[in-house]
Structure 1
């Protein structure tokens, strides 16, 4: 029996207090394929009460108990791997191969990294005669996005449980089915009642209610900077901790010594991954002016290989954008790039030929992009790359940092020492040198309006812990 119309509260699947159905749209067909229930303040109250009651005992469990629990969660997650991948493809349009190899895989990787770090993590230390203790912060409200749903769910739920916290999760109502399956995973793994709770719904009806709730001790939010400011504002009245991972407009600086063909082609991939719907996508490629024309040729050739199409077909590289709203936003920003005088190298307005149904966007590259253009400043969240010529490395660094965001930056060079020097100048939470593999043990989070706090492995644990000093405790 499907749990799509239910919430998971206090270890049980329950009906909403007030019936409110929300259709879930398949972005490849533009048609609803199922419905979920939208929650209300009454549902939030029930879930928070369950989490608050469970915290009294769960917060006192041993590290070994929580470690064993997380291992069981990962075991059941792996058992439901294909189910979760198919849900991602259906609700967000990710190609099935990408759902399996990236969307669900990253959740698996984050579970394992957290487990590995928890094995040796210490929750107390003695400093002189003071005992410093790390204690779970309490009931945590978690709000996760649609674009990398399992990545963000696991990045929040796993460290919260590892710390001894209890949680209420509100996933995106745009892509909620993977989270319902995740709740089934938590139940089968034996997570105690009230430790993990799930309430679906919209930001105003559920997310804001969590943020303002007096019995919620901490909010962890991933999404747009606009929505993040609302969460922070609503949380301020109760002075709860707020950790946020927000938008980005990441620069990718190619130094003059690069293998241009390799750097540009990989740069297309770093921008277009997940159909460009990644907050840390390398959307601004800065190239030396003398290499600009050649870079445009390479980019156009590589973009042509980014085949959009049916996400269930093996040949598809780019699925549709997630919604009509997102499609309209991408079209508006492509038009802004054209109107403001950037060179349209490939792609452009409208849908790819033969894909009239579905929220498909053309893989698009702009050249001759100038600092201050709309496409250089605004987060597009689609398969759109801006290539910006620069004259000196100092100019490139200044352009790269001239943004309200600071989530990620990228540097490409054959000279590792030079790349390291440039990385040191980047005002961003993550800097990636020469397109490295994903590191599940690296910290992830932003500077400036890209947020605060850090996720991944043991870095995430600290956001869910309070520090207590027991002064005069004495020697151990």
Structure 2
């Protein structure tokens, strides 16, 4: 059993303010995976103070981009060397299928490489030509680090979410307090060990598992300059309101209820496979899951039949099992939330094609949900409007392409989506009409060089690549005498 009696504060393992350790339990069978300290407000204060001092007085913000890039490259290499251990820990803590957490490791490298490439090419400082050729001055525009960053991430994809925030924050010279979910304490403490080994200066980064109340203490802290948050839209609204009171910089990557539009000419078998990997990966505990399936009326029954076969074929069970595609939900309250939504769908009059609110036989000791498919769903139903965050698919019929786009856009969210068609050029035309931050065509994966984020209630700001790097900087203009050359 893994035990962490200390907290990673300012680059050192420190004695926590509370000696009580929390049991980290498997969502598969409730066995204890480890025990670990959890941060309290006093620990947050120490971490923020260390970050503030490191930013105001330490070397990190004043190092060159090349020096910071070298440190991050060491971190990336260390993470690659521990890929198997990382995958196993996340699967054990979260209930994600082990094959999925292993397959996701190269993606973490691609994510990091996109940030590193952006940092190497970034316009850290530019001299502008005046619009008036005779002006006796020139303007130097530089990108300055924001300051102390509070990065707050969810449990469902911890390493990806952590790297999406700490890599650009560190590359741009900020200091960071990373607040992680208690469920991911073991894997995130492994990340802390790698950060210590990478060679960051004292105070630059802390990694603290903590509950929501302690997280709010971090958000409100007067010495935090920027909040970078991934999580629910409800929590994002609360954070935005708190940040607004202090005029803190904030970026929010929030929830989604994404639509997959299957056009009449699409290869249905390929689209069904697209649902498997675009809608149900990671137990469908994913903000980008395309769980609203929009099907043309002329092929509706065919698509529902194909989805029924798919959903019933999915292996459900121990996340370490070779045949497992769907593991347990991360916690009992999340399991109950998903089961409640299934009951809501039935009460709303949707047709239950397969699945239901019964826990899979033989898996009652874990937080399992039977993968569920609803048909004859109206987009006004709660199961079509609200983010369920579990393996529940709804199939909605549409009349023509305009109707499909209207339904896809009829949502408070706007994070992701997909279009399937035999004509990729036409699919691109449809994708341009969908009001979401990302749209995939025929199952193409989301890349890391372009910006990622949401429209509407799916968030503010963007992550990944050069755009994501820029969100951790402030523009500073310095005007000096003399003409630009």
TM-score (norm 1): 0.97
In the TM superposition, what whole-angstrom CA distance separates every residue of 1:138-182 from its partner, at most 9, and x where no partner exists?
000000111111111000010011100000000111222111100
What is the CA distance between 1:85 and its match in structure 2?
1.1
Q: Residue 83 of structure 1 aligns to a residue in which SS?
A: helix
Distance 2:26 2:408 in 1: 36
In the TM superposition, what whole-angstrom CA distance separates every residue of 1:194-234 from its partner, at most 9, and x where no partner exists?
111112211111x1111111110000000011111222222
Q: Residue 314 of structure 2 aligns to a residue in which SS?
A: coil
The root-mean-square deviation of aligned C-alpha atoms, in Å, is 1.5
Distance 1:262 1:111 in 2: 30
What is the CA distance between 1:375 and its match in structure 2?
0.5
Match of 1:112 in 2: 113
| Kept in 2: contact 1:271–1:384 (CA 8 A) | no
Q: Residue 304 of structure 1 aligns to a residue in which SS?
A: helix
What is the CA distance between 1:237 and its match in structure 2?
2.4
Match of 2:193 in 1: 184
| Kept in 2: contact 1:131–1:473 (CA 8 A) | no
Match of 2:55 in 1: 55
What is the CA distance between 1:309 and its match in structure 2?
1.1
Distance 1:348 1:388 in 2: 18
Is 1:226 matched with 2:228? no
Is 1:164 matched with 2:170? no
Q: Residue 294 of structure 2 aligns to a residue in which SS?
A: strand
Match of 1:69 in 2: 71
Q: Residue 50 of structure 1 aligns to a residue in which SS?
A: helix
Distance 2:198 2:428 in 1: 43
| Kept in 1: contact 2:176–2:204 (CA 8 A) | yes
| Kept in 1: contact 2:7–2:38 (CA 8 A) | no
Q: 1:38 to 1:336 in 2, by over 3 A?
A: same
User: Please, which moves more after superposition, 384-393 or 435-444?
Assistant: 435-444
- Structure-to-structure mapping, 1:41-440, within 5 angstroms: 41-56=41-56, 57-102=59-104, 104-128=105-129, 129-205=138-214, 207-440=215-448
Distance 1:393 1:334 in 2: 29
Q: Residue 366 of structure 1 aligns to a residue in which SS?
A: strand
Q: 1:3 to 1:107 in 2, by over 3 A?
A: farther
Q: Residue 443 of structure 2 aligns to a residue in which SS?
A: coil
Distance 1:167 1:127 in 2: 32
Q: Residue 278 of structure 1 aligns to a residue in which SS?
A: coil
Distance 2:199 2:278 in 1: 38
Match of 2:18 in 1: 18
In the TM superposition, what whole-angstrom CA distance separates every residue of 1:364-385 from its partner, at most 9, and x where no partner exists?
1111111111110010111111
TM-score (norm 2): 0.95
Is 1:467 matched with 2:475? yes
Distance 1:379 1:79 in 2: 36
What is the CA distance between 1:3 and its match in structure 2?
6.0
User: Please, which moves more after superposition, 18-27 or 137-146?
Assistant: 18-27
| Kept in 1: contact 2:114–2:465 (CA 8 A) | yes
Q: 1:126 to 1:380 in 2, by over 3 A?
A: same
What is the CA distance between 1:192 and its match in structure 2?
1.3
Distance 1:148 1:387 in 2: 26
What is the aligned length?
474
| Kept in 2: contact 1:37–1:201 (CA 8 A) | no
Distance 1:225 1:6 in 2: 32
What is the CA distance between 1:249 and its match in structure 2?
0.2
| Kept in 2: contact 1:366–1:387 (CA 8 A) | yes
Distance 2:107 2:235 in 1: 24
In the TM superposition, what whole-angstrom CA distance separates every residue of 1:275-324 from its partner, at most 9, and x where no partner exists?
11000100100010111111111001111221111111111111111110
| Kept in 2: contact 1:80–1:185 (CA 8 A) | no
Q: 1:388 to 1:473 in 2, by over 3 A?
A: farther
Q: Residue 425 of structure 1 aligns to a residue in which SS?
A: coil
Q: 1:39 to 1:473 in 2, by over 3 A?
A: farther
Q: Residue 368 of structure 2 aligns to a residue in which SS?
A: coil
Gaps of 5+ in 1: none
Q: 1:45 to 1:295 in 2, by over 3 A?
A: same
| Kept in 2: contact 1:159–1:460 (CA 8 A) | yes
